[in-house]
Amino acid sequence: MAAKSTAKVKDSQKSAEKTGKAAVAKNATSGGGAGKVKPVAEIRDGAVYILQAGTKVYVKTADVCAMTGKSNQWIGQLASQGVLNKVQTPHGNLYEIHDAVKSYLSGIEEKEESTKKSNKQLETDKLDAEVKLKKSKAAIAVLDAKERAGKMHRSEDVAAMTEDLIYTIRGALLALPGRLAVDVVSATSTAEASEIIRDEVYRVMEELAGYEYDPVKYQDRVRERLKLEKLAGEDE
């Protein structure tokens, strides 16, 4: 029984090939049978051989999947995006193999080109960022050098120096009562008392006029602050 079934299957395959050959030969014949015309295609050993270039070949989605190695879902997505397009045939909506291959390869080329442009833009942005970073570091280095040389002052350092001056003025003013008490009490008139007070105020103003910016003192303050900032950074 098994041998008979096998024989029937082989006979069926041979019959199908004969039918296919007959159909191909019939489609390839023209001119009322005058002269032998080269067949468009040939079916042999279960395969189809296209013998004339440019012959349209229509295939199913499964065939496109087999050719590209992609899933049915992937091919369907390409179709929905308009990359691949089916055409209506007497056997239903199928893919024309030449158009499908060209469209698929064009899609790959466009994707590669887009990737190249994207990578090039990323590289350009990276180089721009590196240049900006180097310029920023250079600018910071220049400012740091000026600060250490005392040519530029930070706002917090200026505030500290101003605070020192204010404390100096405050100390001088608070010392006035003790320095004037005896002399004012000994004055014989208000005019004399006023003169004593005025002279002492002028003396204090002259002392404050001698208060000068000390670059060495400022640099010591900067070094101390930088040292504290460095220690704080190490702790973090």
Please, is 12 exposed, middle or buried when counting C-beta atoms within 10 Å of its C-beta (0-12, 13-18, 19+)? exposed
SS3 assignment, position 125: helix
Quickly list H helices, 29-96. Answer: 61-68, 72-80
User: Helix, strand, or coil here: 42?
Assistant: strand
For residue 2, what are the CA distances in angstroms to 11, 12, 13, 44, 74?
14, 15, 17, 25, 41
Distance (Å, whole) CA 58 – CA 89: 8
The reported pTM is 0.40
> What is the full per-residue pLDDT of the chain (236 aa) written as tens digits?
434 444 443 454 455 445 444 444 445 444 444 456 677 888 888 888 887 888 888 999 998 998 888 899 988 888 888 888 899 999 999 999 888 888 888 888 888 888 888 899 999 999 999 999 998 888 888 877 776 666 667 777 778 778 888 888 888 888 888 888 888 888 888 888 899 888 888 888 888 887 777 777 777 777 777 777 777 766 65
Phi, psi of 95 (to 5 degrees): -95, 135
For 65-124, the pLDDT digits (tens) are 988 888 999 888 888 888 888 999 999 999 998 888 888 888 888 888 888 888 999 999
Which pLDDT tens digit goes with each residue over 76-88?
Answer: 888 888 888 899 9
